[in-house]
Amino acid sequence: AMSYHTAEIPFVFHNIEAEEPVTGGGKGAHALADVMNLAASAEAK
């Protein structure tokens, strides 16, 4: 599988359902979003 530039954005901003064709939805996508959101928040500080 390939990813594209900015593919992480739905995960960082918890737009999992809005971008379900890209994120795949489900518990795994939400768990990844939680981790990525925390990482982005920590980086911004």
Q: What tens digit of pLDDT does each residue of 13-45 get?
A: 999 999 999 899 999 999 999 999 999 999 887
Looking at residue 4, its pLDDT comes to 83
Looking at residue 1, its pLDDT comes to 62
Domain locations along the chain:
9-44
Looking at residue 44, its pLDDT comes to 86
Looking at residue 17, its pLDDT comes to 94
Looking at residue 35, its pLDDT comes to 97
Q: Pick the residue with more confidence: 1 or 43? A: 43
DSSP 9-40: HHHHTT-TTTTHHHH--HHHHHHHHHHHHHHH
